[in-house]
Structure 1
Amino acid sequence: MSNIVVSGYYGSKNAGDEAMLAAMIEVLSELDPQTNITVISANPPDTKRRHGVEAVSWLSLSEIWKALRASDLLVSGGGSLLQNVTSRRSLYYYMAIIVLAFLARRPVMLYAQGIGPIEGFWARTMMRLVGNGVRLITVRDHGSLAELADMGICRPKIVETADPVLAINPVSKDAGWQVLQWNGVTDGKPLVGISVREWKGWQRYKEAFAETADRIAVEFGADIVFLPMQYPEDVKTAETIASMMKQEAVILDGEFSTAELLSLVGNMDLLLSIRLHALIFAGVMGVPLVGVSYDPKIDRFLDSIGEAPAAKLATITADELMAEVRRKWEARETFREKNAALLKGLRKLSFQNAELAVEILRGLQPEKEAGGKNY
C-alpha cells in the first residue's frame, strides 16, 4: 500500500478546490486502489466526511510531520497555490509544507499547479530553491511553464498537463434539476447560469453583471441562476448584483457538493463566470461558456480551449459582455461541439497527472522492499 499526503486549499468550502481534490482521489484510486490518501485540511472532519480519506489540520505541525513521515509522497496541488497575488502568506505556507517533506526525506510532486504570478525578489528566490528540489512538476497551462522558466526552475522533470477537475466524469442532470425546482425554477425557459465572486471591493463589475443579466433575461427570455462556488461569500456577492437588477433572478443559497454543482451547471444553456472552476464544470458538462478574467488562470484556461475572456474585470462593460453572450448564444451547438472536442484532449492530459504520481510511487517499490528510502 502506498501513502500519499496531499497539500492544498482544502476544507475551506471552495467548490473548485473540493472538485480538484475529488478528481485527484477518483483518478489516483482508479489507477491504484491500494493508495492511502491523507489530506492537509482547514477542516479535517469535513474533508473526511466529504471525500472518505484521512485528514490532518493545516495548523498542526505535529500532525503534518507525522503524516509526512508515514508517507511515500507529498503531492502539492492542484490549483494556484504557488502565487502571492491573492495572498502573500499562503505562498510561504505551501512552500513550508514542501520543505517539511524535504526534511522528512520524502519526494514531492507539484501536481497540476497554476504557477504564479509570484512577485518580489525574495519570494521568487525562495520559490526557485524549493521548486528545483522537488521530484516532478506538472502544470495545468502553458503560462505556468513560462513562469517556472523565468524563475530558473529547471532541475525536476516538468510536464504540461491540465487542471485535475477535467479528469472528473460528467454526472446526471437530475439532481441539479431537482435543486432548481426547489428554488422556483420551472420548465420551459432557457437557463443562464452566472458564477461571481467578491474582488477587492470593486463595484463596477457588479453593475456590469447586473445590467447584462437583465438584458439576457429580456432578450432571450431566460431565467438567471446565480451559482455559488465559495459558500457563503459568493452568495453575498450574488445578492448584491441581484439587488441592482430590474428582472428577477434565482440565487442558490446553499453549499453544494462537487456532483451537485456539476449537475446544476449541466442544466444551464449558457454559463457566464468569473470563477475558473465554474468554467471548467461547464466544459465537463458540455455547456457553452463565457469567461471574465480577474487572474491569469482564467486567460490560460480559456486559451487552452481556443477562447479568450469576454472582458477584464477591472474594465468590464455590459456592452462587451453582452456581445460575447450573443455570439455564444447564437451558435450554442457549434461551441458545445468545439469545446467537447478540445476538452477530450485536455481530459487525457488531466489524467496524466495521476499517472505520473503513480509512476513515482512504483519507482519507490524496490526501495521500500529493501527496507529504506534513497532520495
Structure 2
Amino acid sequence: MKFVISGYFGFQNIGDEAILAAMIEHLREADHGSEIVALSKDPILTQRLHNVSAVNRNDIFGISRELRDADLFISGGGSLLQDVTSPRSVPYYLGLVTLAKAMKKPVFFYAQGIGPLNLKFSRFLVKTVGNLADTITVRDVQSLALLQSIGITRPEMHVAADPVFGLEPCSGRGKGRDFLQACEIPAKGCPLVIVSVRPWLAVPGYIQAVASACDHLVKTQGAVIVYVPFHKAQDVPICQACVEVMQERAYMWDCAGSPREIMSLMEDADFAIGMRYHSLVFAVATGTPFVALSYDPKVDGLLSIAGEKPGLSRSERDVGSFLGHVKDAWNRREEMKSSFLALAPKLGESAKHVAHLAVNTAQKRSRP
C-alpha cells in the first residue's frame, strides 16, 4: 500500500518528528512493504531522518502526483486542526483533505489533537470537511467531544493514544547520558533533570519560576540541569533565558538528535520539568517523574491520562507556588515512576492499533 502523510514535518520540531517516526514504524508493522510519502517543509531533512520519500508541503502539483496512486491519505498526527498558532493551519490541512477526496482517495485522521477552534470559520471548515473523512482517530476524549459538539457525525471515530507512546528510545539504558557526555555535558553519577520550555506570554514570570526551581534542585540534590529545545526556532531563546536567569550552572542541549535519541535523554533522566506536549509524552512513556506547565488544553488532556495536575496552567498562574509543586513531585518520584510504567504499555498498544485502523480504512475502499 501507499500512504501519503500530511503533518507539521520538516520544521525541526522534535515532537512532530517523533510522531512521524512512530507512524512510519507502526504503518510498516501493520502493512509490510508499504510505501510512505511525507509532506514536509524540508523534504531532504525528512528523507534523511526517516528514510521515506518526501515532497514539499506547498508543492500542490507534487502532492497531486503522489496522491494519484495512493491508497490512503493520512492527516496527522499532532495538533493540526487548531487556530491558536495561526488562522491558516485549519484551511491548509483541510485543503489537503479536500484535494484527496476530490481525487477519490480515502482519508484517515491519525490520532489528532483537535482544537482550540476559536474562529467560527475554523469550526465551519472542520465540520464540513471533517464529515468527508472515512475514519477519524483522536488522541484524547476532549478532542472527540469537540468534534461531536461542532457536528461531526458521518465518519467512524475512535480515541487512541498519541503515536509517540508506541515509539521506543535507543536500545539500552545509559544511552541518553552517553549522548550528553558526547556533547560535553557532564551527566554521569548525579541526578539528571531534563527541562522543556517554550514561549508563554499568558504567564509573566514563568521563566523565573522554572529557573528558581532548577536552582533549588542543583543546590539540594546536586542535579545536572539540561534544557532541551523541542522546537528549535521557538524554544532556544527561552531555554537560553532560563540558563541566564539561573544562579547555578545549567546546560542547553544544542547537538543534533533524532527523536529516539531525545527520548533516551528522558529515559535516563531522574526528573523532568515539561512544557512541550511531547516532552511529557516522552516522560510518561519512559517512566520519568515530572512537573508540567500546561499552556494549552492538549497538555491538560495528557495530564488527565497520566493522573497528574500541572504546576502552572492557564487557570493556575501563581508562579510563586511552582517551587512547591516541584518539591512535591520530587518527593513522589517513585510513586510517579511506578504509575507511568504501569500505564505506558497500554498506551503503546493503543498507539500501534491506530496503524491497523488506517490499513483497514484503505482496504475497505480498495474492495470492489
Please state which band the TM-score falls in when normalised by the shorter chain. Answer: over 0.9
**Local SS of the residue matching 2:367:** helix
Which amino acid in structure 2 is aligned with residue 60 of structure 1? D
Which residue pairs with 2:166 in the alignment?
167
Which residue pairs with 2:50 in the alignment?
51
Tell me, yes or no, if the aligned pair for 2:177 and 2:188 is still in contact at 8 Å.
Answer: no
Q: How far apart, in 2, do the equivalents of 1:156 and 1:354 lie?
A: 17
- RMSD (CA atoms): 1.6
Cα deviation, 1:151-190, whole Å, max 9, x if unaligned, reads: 0111100001110100112433343212222323142221
Residue 324 (structure 1) shift: 2.1
Which amino acid in structure 1 is aligned with residue 80 of structure 2? L
Which residue pairs with 1:180 in the alignment?
180
**Local SS of the residue matching 1:88:** coil
Q: How far apart, in 1, do the equivalents of 2:190 and 2:78 lie?
A: 35
Which residue pairs with 1:285 in the alignment?
286
Q: How far apart, in 2, do the equivalents of 1:4 and 1:361 lie?
A: 9
Question: How does the TM-score come out when normalised to structure 1?
Answer: 0.94
Which amino acid in structure 2 is aligned with residue 123 of structure 1? S
Q: How far apart, in 2, do the equivalents of 1:204 and 1:180 lie?
A: 29
Residue 314 (structure 1) shift: 7.4
Which residue pairs with 2:192 in the alignment?
191
Which residue pairs with 1:346 in the alignment?
347
Change in 2 beyond 3 A, CA 1:72/1:325: same
Tell me, yes or no, if the aligned pair for 2:168 and 2:260 is still in contact at 8 Å.
Answer: no
Q: How far apart, in 2, do the equivalents of 1:348 and 1:313 lie?
A: 31
**Local SS of the residue matching 2:300:** helix
Which residue pairs with 1:3 in the alignment?
2
Tell me, yes or no, if the aligned pair for 1:195 and 1:228 is still in contact at 8 Å.
Answer: yes
Residue 34 (structure 1) shift: 1.8
Tell me, yes or no, if the aligned pair for 1:269 and 1:288 is still in contact at 8 Å.
Answer: yes
- Between 1:326-335 and 1:64-73, the stretch displaced more is 326-335
Which amino acid in structure 1 is aligned with residue 295 of structure 2? Y
Q: How far apart, in 2, do the equivalents of 1:141 and 1:279 lie?
A: 15
Tell me, yes or no, if the aligned pair for 2:280 and 2:292 is still in contact at 8 Å.
Answer: yes
**Local SS of the residue matching 1:8:** strand
Cα deviation, 1:278-330, whole Å, max 9, x if unaligned, reads: 11111222211211111001000010121121211675444422222222211
Change in 2 beyond 3 A, CA 1:284/1:154: same
Tell me, yes or no, if the aligned pair for 1:11 and 1:46 is still in contact at 8 Å.
Answer: yes
Q: How far apart, in 2, do the equivalents of 1:109 and 1:63 lie?
A: 20
Which amino acid in structure 1 is aligned with residue 330 of structure 2? W
Q: How far apart, in 1, do the equivalents of 2:286 and 2:260 lie?
A: 11
Which residue pairs with 1:332 in the alignment?
333
Question: How does the TM-score come out when normalised to structure 2?
Answer: 0.95
Gaps of 5+ in 1: 368-375
**Local SS of the residue matching 1:28:** helix
- Between 1:268-277 and 1:344-353, the stretch displaced more is 344-353
**Local SS of the residue matching 2:55:** strand
Which amino acid in structure 1 is aligned with residue 342 of structure 2? A
- Between 1:234-243 and 1:172-181, the stretch displaced more is 172-181
- Between 1:253-262 and 1:314-323, the stretch displaced more is 314-323
Which amino acid in structure 2 is aligned with residue 227 of structure 1? V
Tell me, yes or no, if the aligned pair for 1:69 and 1:104 is still in contact at 8 Å.
Answer: yes
Which amino acid in structure 2 is aligned with residue 290 of structure 1? V
Tell me, yes or no, if the aligned pair for 2:14 and 2:231 is still in contact at 8 Å.
Answer: yes
Which amino acid in structure 2 is aligned with residue 254 of structure 1? C
Which amino acid in structure 2 is aligned with residue 348 of structure 1? E
Count of equivalent residues: 366
Residue 232 (structure 1) shift: 4.3
Q: How far apart, in 1, do the equivalents of 2:109 and 2:6 lie?
A: 10
**Superposition pairs of residues 174-253 of structure 1, within 5 angstroms:** 174-181=174-181, 182-200=183-201, 203-253=204-254
Residue 65 (structure 1) aligned with residue 64 (structure 2): yes
Q: How far apart, in 2, do the equivalents of 1:186 and 1:306 lie?
A: 29
The ranges of structure 1 where at least 4 consecutive aligned residues each deviate by more than 6 angstroms after the TM superposition are none
- Between 1:332-341 and 1:107-116, the stretch displaced more is 332-341
Tell me, yes or no, if the aligned pair for 1:114 and 1:144 is still in contact at 8 Å.
Answer: yes
Paired-residue identity, %: 38
**Local SS of the residue matching 1:9:** strand
Q: How far apart, in 2, do the equivalents of 1:315 and 1:327 lie?
A: 17
Tell me, yes or no, if the aligned pair for 1:205 and 1:317 is still in contact at 8 Å.
Answer: no
Residue 351 (structure 1) shift: 1.3
Residue 26 (structure 1) shift: 0.4
Tell me, yes or no, if the aligned pair for 2:90 and 2:125 is still in contact at 8 Å.
Answer: no
Residue 213 (structure 1) shift: 1.2
Tell me, yes or no, if the aligned pair for 1:229 and 1:275 is still in contact at 8 Å.
Answer: yes
Which residue pairs with 2:139 in the alignment?
140
Which residue pairs with 1:306 in the alignment?
307
Tell me, yes or no, if the aligned pair for 1:305 and 1:343 is still in contact at 8 Å.
Answer: no
Which residue pairs with 1:270 in the alignment?
271
Tell me, yes or no, if the aligned pair for 2:287 and 2:336 is still in contact at 8 Å.
Answer: no
Cα deviation, 1:173-232, whole Å, max 9, x if unaligned, reads: 343212222323142221111111123496521111111111221122211111121124
Residue 349 (structure 1) shift: 1.4
Gaps of 5+ in 2: none
Q: How far apart, in 1, do the equivalents of 2:321 and 2:278 lie?
A: 22
Change in 2 beyond 3 A, CA 1:102/1:7: same
**Local SS of the residue matching 1:94:** helix
